[in-house]
Copies of this chain bind each other. A is one copy, B any other.
Amino acid sequence: MYDVTTWRHSTDRAVTCYTDIGAVINDIIADIKKRQPKQSSKPGAVIHIPPGDYPLKTRVTVDVSYLTIRGDGHGFTSSSIRYNAGDTSGWHEIWPGGSRIRVENTDGENEAFLVARGGEPRLSSVVFDNFCLDGISFTPHQNSYENGKVGIRVDTANDAFRIERMGFVYLEHALIVRDADALSVHGNFIAECGSCVELIGSGQASKVTDNHIGAGYIGYSILAEGHQGLLIAGNNIFPRGKSLIHLRDTNRSSITANRLHGFYPGMLDTDGVNKENLVSGNHFRREPEPWGPMQPYDNGKDDLYGVIHLRGDGNMVTGNLFAYDVPPDKIKPSGARPAMIRVAGGFNNHVSNNSVVSNVPVNAVVLDESTQGTKVIDSATAAQFVSHATDYTFRATP
């Protein structure tokens, strides 16, 4: 059990958590390794971050298993609202709080935390719990979502990690995890970041559940790349997000019981080939950007792209409700009929029992020419269905 506020740096007593919490945590990790030298007993430790404001100048490198870094408050507040609010001199407070790390690397690195280790076995059971990673500001302006900063990057294969109850704000990338096995991302508040959760490389048997997540117009709220058996469930995913959920070469995963609210087409987007995923019981709310400061921006996609843009084989899209409300003059291209579910490629997708509510006539389901064997059942009236393909099955919603 280590406390960053009482730890005395092993070599430089001028370094404290109030000058550089990154250097302090690295020094603690070195102490853990020194105290747990035996292969046969390395239980790890807890590094505790009490409530406070802590600058991080040096990237932390986590290369031990069973390490929990735990704070006492996710500390989210909206920096975006404040930066766009004008005079805030009369405000009670102006920054996020809780156990708050100000990500201010002066070491030439981008990450607050890098988790990586070579050799065997993979790192296991590293936990980030209940503190705040604050990127502080964007450049060149506060609505860019850009500053190059990464909250946590896990860069080698890993097992049974947990990221839970954290707060992330004003980072270009909140959380990047490469090659995850049985990862749990649960109960976090990840907002006003360029991208929020990026699961890259490969992965299996992981879950992203019960989070509040909302990325910027430049990035992903949730990206899954090369995953199998990922469960994305019970999340409240709010704007903006270039895409809210993005699958890339991801198979046999579930997107279920989520609430999604987006300002652009491609709320659920895909690339590569994505097979046998289940998209069920989700609520898709699409409306235009209502907030002046962000109205100059979008993700560059038009309404023919689809609220769901699906590429891949054997996916099932069922039991979803689409609530679309975009004024005709904001629909792109002008005069187009917006697509809700666009099957852009692949074989044997199954689209059944979906419902659409819209302020304008829409195409509930659109099949691209290259698609084959799609079944569209009770998901579009005859007037709401367009197929550019010849090989498909359609039963109209009565």
A159's contact among B41, B76, B88, B275, by CB below 8 Å, is which? B76
CB–CB A252/B285 < 8 A: yes
Q: Is A210 interfacial (CB-CB < 8 Å)?
A: yes
Chain A interface size, as a band, is 35 or more
CB–CB A234/B231 < 8 A: yes
CB–CB A209/B207 < 8 A: no
Which of A40, A120, A229, A259: most chain B Cβ within 10 A? Answer: A259
How many copies altogether?
3
Name the B residues within 8 Å of A212 (CB-CB).
Answer: 160, 182, 184, 205, 207
Q: Is A238 interfacial (CB-CB < 8 Å)?
A: yes
How many angstroms between the C-alpha atoms of A68 and B98 in the bound complex?
A: 9
Name the B residues within 8 Å of A68 (CB-CB).
Answer: 51, 72-73, 98
CB–CB A205/B283 < 8 A: no
Q: Which residue of B lies closest to A67 (CB)?
A: B73
Q: Is A59 interfacial (CB-CB < 8 Å)?
A: no
Name the B residues within 8 Å of A393 (CB-CB).
Answer: 398
Query: Chain A interface (Cβ within 8 Å of chain B)?
Result: 1, 39-46, 50-53, 65-66, 68, 70, 72-78, 81-82, 85, 88-100, 117, 119-121, 124-125, 127, 159-160, 162, 164-165, 167, 182, 184, 186-187, 189, 191, 204-207, 209-210, 212, 214, 229-231, 233-236, 238, 252-254, 256-259, 261, 275-278, 280-283, 285, 313-314, 316, 318-321, 323, 348, 350, 352-353, 355, 357, 375, 377-378, 393-395, 397-398
